Amino acid sequence: REFTDVFDKVKASTLLENQPYDCPIDLSPFALEVLRTFTDKNLANGYISHSRSLIGRHIFFDKKKYVSLQLDINYQGLNKVL
């Protein structure tokens, strides 16, 4: 019961407030390489493009059975804004 707000559907479907600062995230060299590979491949294919938008999405790495790391992007809150 202490953490019931963590599972609140309204909170889970809204974007975070804009912050006046950036928090760096240190990635392992392998995770950084997976991110670069994903970005380069999808930029070249035209699936993604460079953006200066203030709206962003969270990414995370998921360990898969046959792949070391898979890049996952959470678009849920962003899709509701667009």
Bigger pLDDT: 62 or 56? 62
Contact 64, 72 (CB under 8 A): no
| Rounded Cα gap, residues 71 and 38, in angstroms | 8
- pLDDT confidence band for 67 (50 / 70 / 90): low
Q: Mention every residue, 6+ apart, whose C-beta is less than 8 A from residue 31.
A: 61, 69
pTM comes to 0.49
> Helix %, strand %, coil % for the chain, to 5?
40, 10, 50
Bigger pLDDT: 39 or 80? 39
- pLDDT confidence band for 54 (50 / 70 / 90): low
